[in-house]
Amino acid sequence: MENIEFVRRNDGAEGVRTAFVFSCPGQEEEKSGLLVNGQTGRNLDMLLHFLHQKRPDLFPSEDRYYYRITNSSERIHYKARDGRTEPSSAEIKAPDNLERLTGDIKDYDVVITFGRGATEAVSLIADKLDNKKILHSRHLSFLSLNSGVKNDINGEPIPRGDPDSTKKRLEAVAADIISQI
């Protein structure tokens, strides 16, 4: 199946000053036509709950679609489709892709990248973003959260099998984002 252009972005509510950049649409996004869908979307909602609690001035809503959402690449990637879950560096670095991304986020004061592809893409255009506050976070997939967030916000290890482990990991991710502001 050929990669097709995906829904490019979610513009968010009028007056919103915060944008989220993810790596690329995947299988859940292809099925629904919505950005950041499936488990990653639910994790973003939980993350927004914590961000809203700590900084309601920057995160006035817990609804992910209140914010600008875009991707480092518009191409859809997932293992069963093309063997990938992330865009290639060449795909990200393509001049037309970087121009699109710049247009998507240049008017936002705070830009948060989620994952390697998003961080790479925004780093390549940072000089065109006029001193925007650029924050970096890990991807919100279970794989990234489980492999990279080992302690809760109090520095306590998150034990295997803890029924609140995702919540604790996302609370720690939120604390990391807030610390960058």
Supply the pLDDT for residue 9: 60
Q: Are 117 and 92 in contact (CB under 8 A)?
A: yes
> Where exactly are the structural domains of the chain?
9-180
Q: What tens digit of pLDDT does each residue of 89-133 get? A: 999 999 999 999 999 999 999 999 999 999 999 999 999 998 789
Dump strand ranges (E) for 64-131.
68-71, 110-114
Is pLDDT above 80 for 3? no
Supply the pLDDT for residue 91: 96
Is pLDDT above 60 for 180? yes
CA dist 89 and 51 (Å) reads 30
Angle at 43 (CA atoms; ends 53, 23), nearest 5 degrees: 115
Distances 17 to 44, 73, 84 between C-alpha atoms, Å: 17, 21, 32
What's the rounded mean pLDDT across residues 3-18?
68
Architecture of domain 9-180: 3-Layer(aba) Sandwich (3.40)
